[in-house]
Structure 1
């Protein structure tokens, strides 16, 4: 069927066809006038755009940062319970590896033995071990096989490919992971000052977990961190790029990828990533034993787009194990299991053995777990109990006595459906990051510790984590150059958490591009009858949440009511953050601002007093102006005054309740 296309008729149609024109001079005049008008409009638009650009943006080493972001940073506090996000959350079934691919050989540190169960089942067994390590072109290098019938000692590597055969002809093949003390490591260094032991640094990351998601999905781990290990959680830690590499590279090098030598695979003549100034190299100069561990080798930070390492970058390096395992994974019957243990447990055990094997040596380790959380929303929950028990074991075996422990993530969930929800978009930019210090640290370094505590609620980034890692070395006598000496760095963008970070630090100061900047501007809410009704409704949502929270102790804690709304602000996100959809290029450098996310919510911050007791609270409340529903959570409400009533000192009032309970016996 022929489809006719109908085009609009232009007023100057006849001028386009001179054969039908009544007056060629008139046509020429019309064309010239239109051309001149077009040029004038074009020049006006061009000059307007560029004059606006010169006023509103400046070019920084990391990209264009809006001058609008030069404002004091207000980071929103979002409720843990969220109806829109909760529809994506499911509790996964427990990971059961009891039906996995059984192993005939087990390793305890460097000693590998045929298991007693294997001998009972199959009689005499002989095994051949081929140790392997990092080789050129990201391939594993295998050493000659060694045949044994009793035990094998790992000497060249921490990993081996094993083949076993019983006298009855039964066959088994698999991989083993142990841990041997590297022969290149010298004697235990002498401690110069007993009051200032050498500090170990242990960083353990889990991909794609916002601060709130970590609390939701790893509740046992979070409780153990905060209640037993007294972890400090950064409340305003802001990402600076899209994806893992754009946040871990600055953390480990102090620079963005675009500021470093070219290492992309697809660029001819590019280098391997050994040219990057990794922080572990600075630790090596202070005679630290080092380790770098990351699973999912095909999507690893320095190997997915970049050319990776030619030789092991650290004393111990897990990538060779994961490379061989990835090729043999089809032989393992249960997903996410390594024989009879979970895959994530392999890394946990390896890090534990690293910490215990080098007791007395200064140690730096950086480990990153992606298998359960990169590409999955809920699966990381299956590791909660294992991670908590791992931390408990490290503490029990004194591996944390002199250790600064950092448990962290690179960014929040990046699923598109979650990104299109306001809270999901905000949480993506606020990953979990926590610090645990040795018990002696506050007394030995009081100024640094007090500064750190003040910085927990101030705007921080991966650049600051890198500078903090350098400051750990300075505390121990390193001559590392002070922050800002590099010509490519803005002196304000990298601040150690042991120094006082300005309260009024902005995204522009911290070199955070607008689409990642979580700092909100605030607008005072005017007083009108309609607005006054909304203010009271929003405030009562927070008060009801407090009363629900204290209801378990109603025998001791009074119900509270609104006394006065002291002030209310509307917290506003910048437009580039709202419009950000993703990246246009494979490298993650070109932002795509075509998101059509419907903005149906406002965020309000309210300060109010209550009765009885005249307590003063501040709460962040999210209001859906389409449905008329307001929501908040206890994690968004905090006491502003410091007055506490008598019964809160009693043991029967749990610590989280203390700041919200007004004791009935205090009502006079």
Structure 2
């Protein structure tokens, strides 16, 4: 029989249990109620009523400065009432402010409307430029000028005389120093020359006295001008520099060589700019290129690690390894014999120009020594080399941000502007120009935010001078962020591998070749690669090639084609000549970091170290050893409808790991034979370095080996200072 004390204990325990149970139920109900409709800041209308989730997303999109296409898409979703429960659940999870932890592992199987490309052979996941993770690390920069002074020396072009004139604005002198009563001004021509080895260099000619409204000789391609105090010659009041695009007197080609109308081609490049980071950091420019006539290739996928090999494909139709058979592009020799596309345009009667805003790491310097002669009719590098040697330099974003009193990129833009004005606007002659910029975008992923306003003004100036009425304009990049915090995002693989590509067709071209414009629109969400962009440039020179078979592809990628022709909907990375390591078509599923995975990583390091030994870099670089694993994924095969599978006994892994004795962070894509426990078809270029080299690899020059090199103190003289 229970005592009163026992009954009291039972009652107390029962009451306590019921209380805990009630609290548990209440907590779940409260969470469910709150999770059913999480308010987003600014999601209430003016009347104070709570908006629907699609309306709130629409408001959020505007707050985050989505391009109008993005938030128009969300608005359409708001108007759709027949969406299934499955899709609604997906949209809520995919675009929620706080993404689930599984999203951070890059493992997603999403509906077709959340892909850049969707087919049986290619499922390229959508990456949100304004994801919560991306915005959390976004750190925009402000544009900084190089001087607050007004221009004492300016340049103009006399259309009647077809010559440039220098001007000395004496009224500015009062602002600069009212005590100066007179000026002594001069200019020095910057000219290109060759040394005994055939290497190009720049030379400054002796000063020439300069007066106001003075005409310059037509053979000058660049000058440094300065004004000094007339009474104190050691005092420089102001120094400036100017590129000069001077067209030699000749009859217009439209008069002497009547040909069907040919479009000019202006290529504008921004280094290290993914589609997502472009929208994130340059919203004004991103909105500008949504106007009529612009086409964005959302399925554009890079084919190699860094700038040089990707641009070799675009501008010469092959990777450095493929071009080695023709022009020794990877050797320590000049690369003039390579089949650069501007040579084809030159042969077709185009005037050509090439400029970039960096010297030390020029695009086509690559592993070799660059050009042995001027590659194009107009070439900016000699002027920049002369400026670097004689003018004040201010570094920012890892590059020479200021050269003298101007932002370095402004010399590139002035060069491009003069080229387009002189040839396209004024003479109506076909022109091909390639203008590449690194200074704002290469080392600091958010530096482009300070360039946005300047760049869109530059595009509007081109528009003002009617360049968009006559020229095809291509705005593109080589790759996205390869290092740093963007690579560590859940969508880091896409950030690295999906560079931006926008193509503009002028009105007359769209009217004359409507099928080409239609193909660009169709190809927007189909897989494409730099090989296809190269074929498109070739196609511009053969506009009568109305069918793909009329434009045979290069042997380096026989399944590539022009973007003016419809790309196959069912197209794989193999078809686009994109290797496994760079391919974004297949999704990966996370795997546990077990003994087998560690064994695969150790095999990968063995192959890397073996390659360094074979290439004789082990004499100068430490052997890499495994410090730890960060992440491992296994590829899902699209042909198996998203189910885990293998190529027989071969599985494809993507691995992230760290090494010692000094820390290197790497990502590798490898084929692993599970039965034989070996790597199959290992390619050293399928390994990416995820952290910066700094000074780790100064002892060697080879760009591939630099990724794996931590110098041991011995320096090979043949690899440096070349």
On the 8 A contact 1:521/1:572 being kept in 2, the answer is no
Distance 1:243 1:325, change over 3 A: same
* Offset, 1:266: 8.7
Equivalent of 1:512 in 556, 559, 578 = 578
Q: Provide Cα deviations, 1:217-258, integer angstroms capped at 9, x if missing partner.
A: 11011111213x542110100000011111111100001111
CA displacement 1:502-529 (0-9 Å, x = unmatched): 1111111111110000102599xxxxxx
Return the structure number with greater relative CO, CA threshold 8 A, min gap 6.
Answer: 1
Q: Secondary structure at the match of 1:509?
A: coil
Following superposition, the deviation at residue 160 of structure 1 comes to 1.2
Cα 1:578–1:106, aligned 2, differ >3 Å: closer, same or farther?
Answer: farther
**Mapped partners of 2:257, 2:337: distance in 1:** 33
User: What do residues 188-214 of structure 1 show as CA deviations (whole Å, max 9, x unaligned)?
Assistant: 4239889x6320101001111110110
Distance 1:510 1:185, change over 3 A: farther
SS in 1 for 2:499: coil
Map residues 88-99 of structure 1 onto 2, 5 A cutoff: 88-99=137-148
Of 669, 685, 689, 1:590 maps to 685
Question: Following superposition of structure 1 onto structure 2, how do residues 194-343 of structure 1 map, counting pairs within 5 Å?
Answer: 197-227=261-291, 229-261=292-324, 267=331, 270-330=332-392, 336-343=401-408
1:113 and 2:161 aligned: no
Tell me the SS of whatever aligns to 2:542.
helix
In structure 2, what is the Cα distance between the partners aligned to 1:362 and 1:206? 24
Change (3 A) 1:360 1:222: same
Q: Residue 261 of structure 1 contacts residue 271 of structure 1 at CA under 8 Å; is this kept in 2?
A: no
Contact 2:188-2:208 within 8 A present in 1 as well: yes
Residues in 2 aligned to 1:192 and 1:99: alpha-carbon distance in whole angstroms: 49
How far 1:303 sits from its partner (Å)? 1.9
Quick one: which of 476, 481, 491 aligns to 1:413?
481
**1:241-281 per-position Cα deviation (integer Å, ceiling 9, x unaligned):** 011111111100001111113777994xx431101101000
The question of whether the paired residues in 2 share the 8 Å contact of 1:468 and 1:495 is answered with yes
2:203 paired residue among 120, 141, 157: 141
Are 1:92 and 1:379, in contact at CA under 8 Å, matched by a contact in 2? yes
| Distance change >3 Å, CA 132–CA 498, structure 1 → 2 | same
What do residues 381-411 of structure 1 show as CA deviations (whole Å, max 9, x unaligned)?
1111111111112112212111111111111
Is the Cα contact below 8 Å between 1:234 and 1:434 reproduced in 2?
yes
Q: The residue matched to 2:570 in structure 1 has which SS?
A: coil
Aligned position for 1:502: 568
Inter-partner Cα distance in structure 2 for 1:232 and 1:395: 17
TM-score under structure 2 length normalisation? 0.60
Q: Which runs of 5+ in 1 are unaligned?
A: 1-69, 524-568, 597-668
Aligned to 1:371: 439
1:339-385 CA-partner distances (Å, limit 9, x unpaired): 55433233222211211111301011011110011111211111111
The change in CA–CA distance for 1:261 and 1:447 in structure 2 (over 3 A counts) is same
Q: Deviations over 1:519-558 (max 9, x none)?
A: 02599xxxxxxxxxxxxxxxxxxxxxxxxxxxxxxxxxxx
1:349 matched to 2:414? The reply is yes
Report the Cα distance in structure 1 between the residues aligned to 2:263 and 2:165, rounded to whole angstroms. Answer: 29
Preserved CA contact (<8 Å) 1:407 1:434: yes
Give the drift of 1:114: 2.2
By how many angstroms is 1:178 displaced? 3.5
Task: Name the CA shift for 1:123/1:595 in 2 (closer, same or farther; >3 Å).
Answer: closer
Preserved CA contact (<8 Å) 1:107 1:178: no
Per-residue CA deviations over 1:409-453 (Å, capped at 9, x if unaligned) read: 111111244323330121211111001110122221022221221
One of 67, 73, 97 as aligned partner of 2:122: 73
Task: Output aligned runs, 1:57-68, within 5 Å.
Answer: none
Once residues 517 and 582 of structure 1 are traced to their aligned partners in structure 2, the CA distance between those partners, rounded to angstroms, is 14
Kindly provide the CA deviation profile for residues 35-69 of structure 1, in whole angstroms up to 9, marking residues without a partner as x.
Answer: xxxxxxxxxxxxxxxxxxxxxxxxxxxxxxxxxxx
The whole-number CA distance in structure 2 between the counterparts of 1:309 and 1:583 is 33
User: Out of 388, 396, 408, which is 2:456 matched to?
Assistant: 388
- Secondary structure of the 2:575 match is helix
Distance 1:243 1:522, change over 3 A: closer
* Residue in 2 that maps onto 1:527: none
2:50 counterpart residue number: none
Residue 124 (structure 1) aligns with: 182
Between the aligned partners of 2:545 and 2:245, the Cα distance in structure 1 is 30
Q: CA, structure 1 residues 590+485, in 2 after alignment: closer, same or farther (shift >3 Å)?
A: closer
User: Is 1:407–1:435's contact at 8 Å kept on the other side of the alignment?
Assistant: yes
Moved more, 324-333 or 375-384: 324-333
| Residue of structure 2 aligned with 1:426, choices 480, 483, 494 | 494
Q: 1:277 to 1:153 in 2, by over 3 A?
A: same
Aligned counterpart, 2:519: 451
